[in-house]
Amino acid sequence: MPRQCEICGKGPLRGHNVSHANNKTKRVWRPNLQRVRVLREGKVIRMRVCTKCIKAGLVIKAPRVPATP
């Protein structure tokens, strides 16, 4: 499963760490993905969604149902 938001498609970005001596080493910036229970077409499913999509309201979280004893 790719490290990618299932709503907007945001994925990892690659670049360099650059030291004061201008040494460059490879690094990766990963999106802040959360596993969220989402209501989609009347069903509850789990999705990997970035926090930006959650804050923007692009995801409708499924309500928590308390366990019946």
CATH number at residue 29: 2.30.170.40
Whether residue 29 contacts residue 12, with contact meaning beta carbons closer than 8 Å, is answered with: yes
What pLDDT, in 10s, does the model give residues 18-41? Answer: 999 999 999 999 999 999 999 988
Domain extent for 39: 1-62
User: What's the pLDDT score for residue 49?
Assistant: 96
Q: Does 67 map to a domain?
A: no
pLDDT band at 67 (very low <50, low <70, confident <90, very high): confident
The reply to whether the predicted model has a pTM over 0.85 is: no
Look at residues 53, 39, 40, 43 and name the one whose alpha carbon lies nearest to residue 9.
53
The pair of three-digit structure tokens given for residue 43, joined into one six-digit string: 């069903």
- Counting the structural domains of the chain, the total is 1
Number of helices (H), then strands (E), in the chain: 1, 4
Residue 37 is predicted with a pLDDT of 94
Contact by Cβ (8 Å): 17, 40: no
Q: Count CB atoms within 10 A of the CB of residue 40.
A: 11
